[in-house]
Amino acid sequence: MLRVVVMVSGGGTNLQAILDAIDSGKITNASVEAVISNNSGAYALERARKHQIPAVCISPKSYPDRAAFHQALLETVREYRPDLIVLAGFLVTIPAEMIKEYRNRIINIHPSLIPSFCGVGYYGLKVHEAALKRGVKITGATVHYVDEGVDSGPILLQKAVEVKEGDTPEILQRRVMEEAEWQILPEAINRIANSK
């Protein structure tokens, strides 16, 4: 059984897609052991509680400096002995020590087709604003392993999504979530859990 820790900063729609996929059998041989957020107001924590999954907030604001926060984050993750860490909209840079300890066991979902619209500063709506400003006809989402760079680790899965006439960043964001993110993130976890 693959022990999964999901880290999220906001609403947790990707977390919900994971939980739904486990419940429906689309993900097998995996269980979410904990949900960790840097934001005490993240609805993702409520989603975890509804599934009787430990919901933990580790906020940088609670620590004197970044080093202390990183240490607390790493110690909390270790408590749940994860085989896989899933970054599902986690807007905090992962400390190098954690990347080293969990090498090739941390994955991230990014709302574009990497290498487009990724790297420092590209997250959330900013990605979709950039795609629309550039005038691309196809966007999508990418699941990749996390390394020391930003959105630079090896790609596991990608799924393309059409950009339509009249799209706003919000409309495009929703389509990318529904047609790509919520499909490929559970698929990636299932593949890892079943050594595919």
Whether residue 47 is annotated as binding a ligand: the answer is no
Told to judge if 128 belongs to the known catalytic residues of this protein, a careful annotator would answer no
Ramachandran class of 58: left when φ > 0, alpha when ψ lies in -120 to 50, beta otherwise: beta
Tokens at 112, concatenated: 């574009």
| DSSP reduced 3-state for 196 | coil
Whether residue 108 is annotated as binding a ligand: the answer is yes
Residues 6 or more apart whose CB falls under 8 angstroms from that of 154 comprise 144, 145, 147
Whether residue 66 is annotated as binding a ligand: the answer is yes
| Catalytic residue chosen out of the listed positions 51, 70, 110, 128 | 110
Q: Which of 140, 130, 128 is nearest to 183 (CA)?
A: 140
Positions at the binding site for (6R)-10-formyltetrahydrofolate: 66, 108
Positions at the binding site: 12-14, 66, 108
Q: Would you please indicate which residues are annotated as catalytic (active-site) residues? A: 110
